[in-house]
Amino acid sequence: MPKQLTDVVVIDAVRTAFGRAGEKGLFWKTRAEDLCVPLLKSLIERNPGLEPSMIEDSIWGVTNQVKEQGGTIGRMIPILAEWGWEIPGCSIDRMCASGLTAIGFSVSHIASGMADCLIAGGVEHMGHLPMGFMRDPHPRAEELLGGPSAFNMGMTAENIHDRYQQFTKEMADEYARNCQEKTDRAIRAGKMKDMIIPIEVELADGTRMTADSDQQPRPGTTLEGLAGLKTPFREEGGRVTAGNASGLNDGAAVVLLMSGAMAEKGGFQPKMRWVASAAAGVDPTVMGIAPVPATEKVLKKAGLTMDDIDIIEINEAFAVQALFFLDHFGLQPDDPRVNQWGGAIAFGHPLAASGPRLVAFLCGIFRENPQARYGLTTMCVGRGQGYSIIWENTK
């Protein structure tokens, strides 16, 4: 057993396109498992020398672990990919951060010397399994979580607006418009091509197509258009809309992790190295503020400050949540370090798939910015949690 932590590196990170949840979505007739299998096959194709027998565990984040996403999907995915029976697997639920937690747990496994090569991913088919589907909260849950709004993420965002009134709807809309612009520039520049694995799918009308681009982005979004949207979580005086919040989406993403020693021995080129991880809990009725304490924790563990972080990938569940985070750390809403390719307000947020998506984005941005040293991936989580990981560029 090593006395020191083993270096952990990211070798590759890929994802599906993100589709809209529902009958008009790309993946309405595609099962959750079948979103994941092509990703595993692509890892073998993209990484010469990688064999399924080298994978020691398959750890997947899944928020709604019922029906097609139940039955320990982390175990079933490599079997469906025809990797054999020898690869174990499990499923993890930390709601929105399930996939990022799967990565964090996998990192810990390798860092402790218990494994050298793992896959960690996340999948969510919100069209087939909507948020809260088949949930049965404890009778005391509402009381102990602070009230009914803790169960409705849109209401928790409205609560942040209430508690921190300096973050106005106009600011949220401006942040959302900027996100759509960054996303459009990134897509037109081909930034998504390397990470999105095309999947042949059947649509609701029976036609077939190749799903190779995200369905959610809305290029050309204007402040005027955003201002006119309904506020579904609060009819009078509401500030959270479909335009300044992430969408309901289907998608999957996976990360290939190795020990530094295994990567060097096998000739694999690391994209980035793990530095530190941290989770935090807050008042569930304002769950969106939780990336702040999680990031404060992880910076302390890493011996760094926010000034040391060159690239920030924050999951935009809601614009107000991102605004709170940036303001706390003294950053402007348009800080060039933040979500350079856009975020979940444009791309969508298929819950457990979003954490690995952040990692894939960070890998790509690191590659384009060899002078950048440290990057942050951070998320808020339903029921009042935050999860943050710091990575170091290996380029």
By residue range, what is the domain housing residue 103?
Answer: 8-126+247-393
User: Taking the model in full, what pTM does it have?
Assistant: 0.97
Q: Is residue 200 part of a domain?
A: no
Annotated active-site residue in 96, 117, 179, 363: 96
pLDDT band for position 224 (50/70/90)? very high
Domain assignment of residue 266, yes or no? yes
Specify the residue for token string 């979103």.
35
* Tokens standing for residue 159: 């609560």
Is residue 349 part of the annotated active site? The answer reads yes
Transcribe 170-183 into DSSP letters.
HHHHHHHHHHHHHH
**Residue ranges with strand state E in the chain:** 8-15, 19-20, 58-61, 89-92, 117-125, 199-202, 208-211, 249-259, 272-281, 309-314, 374-381, 385-393
* Counted domains in the chain: 1
Look up the CATH number of the domain holding residue 106. Answer: 3.40.47.10
pLDDT at 2: 54
pLDDT surpassing 60 at residue 299: yes
Q: What is the pLDDT of residues 156-166, one digit of tens each?
A: 999 999 999 99
Q: Which of 117, 125, 349, 363 is catalytic?
A: 349
pLDDT value for 3 = 73
- For the cut 80, the answer to whether the pLDDT of residue 338 exceeds it is yes
Residue 380 annotated to the active site: yes
Residue 176 CA to residue 349 CA, distance in Å, equals 14
Residue 252 and residue 15 in contact, taking contact as beta carbons nearer than 8 Å = yes
Any domain includes 297: yes
Whether 99 is in a domain gets the answer yes
Q: Is residue 90 annotated as part of the catalytic site, yes or no?
A: no
Inside any domain, residue 222: no
Q: Domain for residue 367, yes or no? A: yes
- Chain segment 90-139, per-residue pLDDT in tens: 999 999 999 999 999 999 999 999 999 999 999 999 999 998 889 899 99
> Does residue 357 carry a pLDDT above 80?
yes
Q: Supply the pLDDT for residue 132.
A: 87
